[in-house]
Amino acid sequence: MRDTRISEAGSTSAAKESKEESRAVVAAPSSTVRKRVVAKAIYVNDAAAKTSVDGRLYYDVDGKRYWKNYKDGKYYLFNKSMFANPDFKPPVKN
């Protein structure tokens, strides 16, 4: 009879250990921050866009500024080369 009590006690402690292991596996998921995907070019209705001081059209989305390319009509995410590129300057009105 004494042998059965020891084996029962041993099995309950093994069951407790397996529960503790399963709890460790089911731990709360880590907080991962996903970066928002930012498109390099978008289509925008010109009526929704705003006009800058120099006459170029731009549109803001989620803190990013897109400038209109007058050659193809798309709005592109800002970069430094846009200032020298004539495609991003509005056509001259006569």
Query: Residue 76: CB partners within 8 Å, gap ≥ 6?
Result: 40, 41, 66, 67, 69, 82, 88
Structure tokens at 83: 């200032």
**What is the pLDDT at residue 68?**
95
Q: In 3-state terms, what secondary structure has residue 57?
A: strand
Q: Model's pTM, two decimal places?
A: 0.61
**What is the pLDDT at residue 47?**
96
pLDDT tens digits, residue range 14-46?
A: 555 555 555 555 556 667 888 888 899 999 999
Do the beta carbons of residue 76 and residue 41 sit within 8 Å?
yes
Taking the C-alpha atoms of residue 20 and residue 39, their distance in angstroms, rounded to an integer, is 46
What does pLDDT average to over the chain? Answer: 80
